[in-house]
C-alpha cells in the first residue's frame, strides 16, 4: 500500500503548556475535562530514548495511546484503519513538547531527533497484557518487516 501525506482522523495534537519560574517548570499532562469523550487512561509509563533511536512502527488493535513528548522527536503516523475517512494518509510531525492521542489502528513510530536523551510518557486506555498481565500483547509490530510500507523517512 502507498500512503499519501495528510491529516489523520481521530489524532489529537496539542502543545504542552509549560509554566516556568525560578524553581524550574511544570506542565499538565492531562485533565479529565480536556480528554476526548470516552477516553480514560488506565496506566502510565515513561520511556527514555537515546538520540537517533526509533521506537516502532507498530499499531494496536484496541489500545489508544496518549503520548507526552518531552524532548526532540519526529513522530510518524499512518492511518491503517480501512473504515477511516483518512485511510491511507501519512503524516510526520515534530512532537517536541507535544501531547498526541493516537487511536487504535493508527500505525505509529517516533525517533529522538535531538542530541540528548529524551522522555516519552504514555497514558494508554488499556493495560499492557491485560488485567494481571494474562492476555496477549495488543500490538502488531512492523519494524522487523523489510517489506513494510511503514518507513521512517522525513522526506
Each residue's pLDDT tens digit, 98-126: 999 999 999 999 999 999 999 999 999 99
- For 60-84, how does the pLDDT look when each residue is reduced to its tens digit (9 = 90+)? 999 999 999 999 999 999 999 999 9
Q: Which domains are present in the chain? A: 4-127 (2.60.120.10)
Q: Which residue has the cell 492476555?
A: 135
Task: Report the Cα 106 to chain-centroid distance in Å.
Answer: 9
Per the CB < 8 A criterion, the answer to whether 78 and 150 are in contact is: yes
Task: Report the Cα 36 to chain-centroid distance in Å.
Answer: 16
Amino acid at each position: 500500500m502507498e500512503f499519501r501525506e495528510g491529516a489523520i482522523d481521530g489524532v489529537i495534537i496539542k502543545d504542552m503548556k509549560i509554566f516556568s519560574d525560578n524553581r524550574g517548570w511544570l506542565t499538565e499532562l492531562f485533565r479529565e475535562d480536556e480528554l476526548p469523550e470516552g477516553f480514560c487512561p488506565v496506566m502510565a509509563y515513561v520511556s527514555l530514548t537515546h538520540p537517533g533511536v526509533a521506537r516502532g512502527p507498530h499499531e494496536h488493535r484496541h489500545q489508544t495511546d496518549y503520548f507526552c513528548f518531552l524532548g526532540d522527536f519526529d513522530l510518524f503516523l499512518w492511518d491503517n484503519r480501512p473504515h477511516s475517512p483518512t485511510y491511507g494518509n501519512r503524516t510526520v510531525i515534530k512532537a517536541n513538547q507535544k501531547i498526541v492521542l493516537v487511536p487504535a489502528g493508527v500505525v505509529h513510530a517516533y525517533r529522538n531527533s535531538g542530541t540528548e536523551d529524551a522522555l516519552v510518557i504514555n497514558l494508554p486506555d488499556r493495560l499492557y497484557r491485560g488485567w494481571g498481565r494474562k492476555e496477549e500483547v495488543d500490538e502488531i509490530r512492523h519494524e522487523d518487516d523489510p517489506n513494510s510500507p511503514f518507513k521512517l523517512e522525513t522526506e
